[in-house]
Amino acid sequence: MNPEINILSFNEIKKIFEKLSDNYGVESSMLPKNSRLIQRGKEKISIFTGEISDKDIQKFKELSSIELIGLYIAKIDLLDNNKKEDIRLSIEGTHIFKDDIIKNIVDLNSQKIIDDWMMGREILYYDIEKAMKENKRDDESKFVNSVSPRVGGEGRGRWDNKFATNNNSPNKRPKGFVVIRNSFTGDFLGCGKASADKITNFTPKGRRLKEKS
């Protein structure tokens, strides 16, 4: 028997976005126009923007075995013996809210680490921080000075790795659910769960990059 599928009410959506705001800075005002949130069972949240009415969805649900309606964007994780809830964005969820995510971002700043992540491997904060230091040394030789007439010729710099932040340092290691970002392109690569030293990977097997033979 498939899990129950429910169209979320205004108050239920509000609670979902309170968690999204706390974790990632995403607000409910960022939802696409005329979209609805649908929950499958106790965990999976999808977004639906079709022309079918809520009433028709309910009728269709009664007549057919439905795995999922809409695009899967998030999962509710139950913690402490189901006493506490946290929320993890799917890969598609990070793409939908890409312009609004401002919290708990971890930048991957090495192609090897990016490939490891896309292959489904866990990654270490130590490796990210090591790559950041190496990139900084390399970038110092590529640092471009440009003269700004408004400040009397004082130099202003531009770094090639434009999306990289200073989040990836021992003193700024986000914990819990984090959004993974390719610091070279700015693309989000889904979510992981960070501890003090490493980040667990939730990339589905069917979405993983195949290892080179």
What residue ranges do the domains of the chain occupy?
A: 5-96, 105-207
Structure tokens, 98: 């890409």
Report which of 63, 72, 84 is spatially closest to residue 39, judged by C-alpha positions.
Answer: 72
Q: Which residue has the higher pLDDT, 26 or 158?
A: 26
Q: What is the pTM of this model?
A: 0.79
Q: What is the CATH number of domain 5-96?
A: 3.10.450
Residues 6 or more apart whose CB falls under 8 angstroms from that of 47 comprise 31, 32, 35, 36, 37, 38, 70, 71, 73, 96
Type of residue numbered 28: S
The runs of H, that is alpha helices, within the chain are 10-24, 54-63, 91-96, 111-118, 125-140
Report for 16-20, 51-55, 145-149: range of highest mean pLDDT: 16-20
Q: How far apart are CA 135 and CA 116, in angstroms?
A: 18
pLDDT band at 12 (very low <50, low <70, confident <90, very high): very high
Using N-to-C axis directions, what is the helix angle for 111-118 and 125-140, rounded to 10°?
150
